[in-house]
Amino acid sequence: MSENKVILIYNMLNLHYGDLNWWPAKTPYEVIAGAILTQNTTWRNVEKAIANFGDRLTPEFIAGVDFAELTEIIKPAGFFNQKAKYLKSVSLWFAGYNYDVPAVKKEPLVKLRTELLSVKGVGQETADAILLYAFNFRSFVVDAYTFRLCSRYPVNAGNSYREVKNYFEANLPESTEIYNNYHALIVNNAKDHCRKNDPCCDICPLGESCKKIM
């Protein structure tokens, strides 16, 4: 594959940050729960909610726990009534596979993504995060940081989630590890340098190759 902007950006960011070892979780189900809990909040708040579970963060526990107790546990993540419903729903989906990760991995990616998108509270970003980080499928995750990078560098990847996802997947090697680390690199660089307001361009690892289109 000839070098293109997508690979060039990856190489520059990877040289600077290295392998970021995402997603930090003890189990695949913790990734699933984290993907729900991180909606509209910071990861620090998610960590507080996860800590409240202790050793009870399992799909069986969430499926059976009283709704009021669940909302109390996840309260640090915000939107707790809404997210409790979402956790119940995604746990019900996982129950369809008897909470068995290998059973999920045997299914086609397209089928699983369609199923997840039908689950209440699971949008495209959340579905792809679950598929990539919990089940190790090649499903590139797009978020607000990805759109920001594309607009500023610039990368003409499209305007919709699906367009950007397809563009990155078409221009990257078929590697779960690269998909995983690339998303982490984009997020880290957006927080360190490519901030929404007051971006720190002078010492950004993308350097002069970025056109800095605001």
Residues 49 and 106 in one domain: yes
- N-terminal to C-terminal alpha carbon distance within the chain: 30
Q: Model pTM? A: 0.94
Q: Which residues of 113-140 are buried (b: 16+ CB within 10 A; e: fewer)?
A: bebbeebebbebbbbbbbbbbbbebbbb
Q: What is the CATH number of the domain that holds 149?
A: 1.10.1670.10
CA proximity to 172, closest of 152, 186, 188, 159: 186
Last residue of a domain, one of 119, 134, 149: 134
Residues 41 and 13 in one domain: no
Residue 125 CA to residue 92 CA, distance in Å, equals: 19
Residue 31 CA to residue 141 CA, distance in Å, equals: 14
Residue 84 CA to residue 81 CA, distance in Å, equals: 5
Residues 115 and 159 in one domain: no
Judge whether 203 lies within some domain.
yes
Last residue of a domain, one of 114, 134, 154: 134
Residues 100 and 176 in one domain: no
Residues 175 and 108 in one domain: no
Residues 39 and 126 in one domain: yes
Residue 201 CA to residue 97 CA, distance in Å, equals: 47
Residues 127 and 94 in one domain: yes
Judge whether 46 lies within some domain.
yes
Judge whether 160 lies within some domain.
yes
Range of the domain at 184: 5-21+141-209
Last residue of a domain, one of 106, 134, 162: 134
Residues 68 and 87 in one domain: yes
Residues 130 and 46 in one domain: yes
Q: What is the CATH number of the domain that holds 47?
A: 1.10.340.30
Domain count, the chain: 2
For residue 2, what pLDDT is reported? Answer: 40
Residues 195 and 125 in one domain: no
Residue 193 CA to residue 200 CA, distance in Å, equals: 5
Residues 57 and 79 in one domain: yes
What sign does the CA torsion over 6, 8, 10, 12 have?
A: negative
Q: Could you give the 3-state DSSP secondary structure of residue 154? A: coil
For residue 3, what pLDDT is reported? Answer: 55
Judge whether 214 lies within some domain.
no
Residues 9 and 94 in one domain: no
Give the pLDDT means over successive 10-residue stretches in the chain (214 positions): 79 96 92 97 96 97 97 98 98 98 98 98 98 98 97 94 98 96 97 92 89 62
